[in-house]
Amino acid sequence: MIDLQIKAMFFDRPRVQRAVSHANRRALSRAGAFVRTRARTSMRKRRGTSRPGQPPHAHEGSLRRMILFGYEPTRESVVVGPVGFRSSTAPNVLEFGGRTTVVRRRRSARRGQRVIKTRVRIAPRPYMAPALEKERPKLPALWRDSVTRS
């Protein structure tokens, strides 16, 4: 009589599941880092405004610094984008275009400091979508040979 354990032949073993989960988390994290880096480097440090359709210029660099990525374990996905802008809609308006309020402070000799608020329409200056599109062909290679023996 041959004693054969069929369960040992299936891929639902905890060790295999851990290895696949670890490899997926690592590959997604690397993908997020690549897209983040591409988005950051697309914003060049220059004066003035960028042309519509081109990534925004990085005047002081706060938008560039605030682009982060994070692995989301419940959905097994990665999220990449600007974070930390409290009540500002600037990152969203730059990416997709739209209307926003521009606040300017002017000093005058008689009145002190004046605040001038103006509603303006901003043309889209995408930076996240082009970064993903440029990195997309490289992403499948991140999973190639990613599950190894541990």
Q: What is the mean pLDDT of residues 121-149?
A: 91
Would you say residue 28 lies in a domain? yes
Q: What are the tens digits of pLDDT across the range 93-120?
A: 999 999 998 888 887 777 778 888 999 9
Closest CA relative to residue 64, chosen from 55, 73, 72:
55
Would you say residue 81 lies in a domain? yes
Would you say residue 40 lies in a domain? yes
Q: What sign for the dihedral angle of Cα 21, 24, 29, 32?
A: negative
Would you say residue 50 lies in a domain? yes
Would you say residue 67 lies in a domain? yes
Radius of gyration, CA atoms only, the chain: 24
Specify the pLDDT at position 9.
63
Domain holding 19, by residue range, is 12-89+127-142
Would you say residue 24 lies in a domain? yes
- Is the pLDDT assigned to residue 12 strictly greater than 80? no
Would you say residue 131 lies in a domain? yes
Would you say residue 21 lies in a domain? yes
Number of domains in the chain: 1
Start-to-end C-alpha separation, the chain: 34
Tell me what the pLDDT averaged over the chain comes to: 87
- pLDDT band for 4, please (50, 70, 90 cuts): low
Closest CA relative to residue 40, chosen from 96, 72, 81:
81
Specify the pLDDT at position 136.
95
- Is the pLDDT assigned to residue 88 strictly greater than 60? yes
Specify the pLDDT at position 20.
85
Residues for the chain: how many in total?
150
Q: What are the tens digits of pLDDT across the range 21-78?
A: 889 999 999 999 999 999 999 999 999 999 999 999 998 888 899 999 999 989 999 9
pTM of the model: 0.80
Question: Which residue type occupies 18?
Answer: R
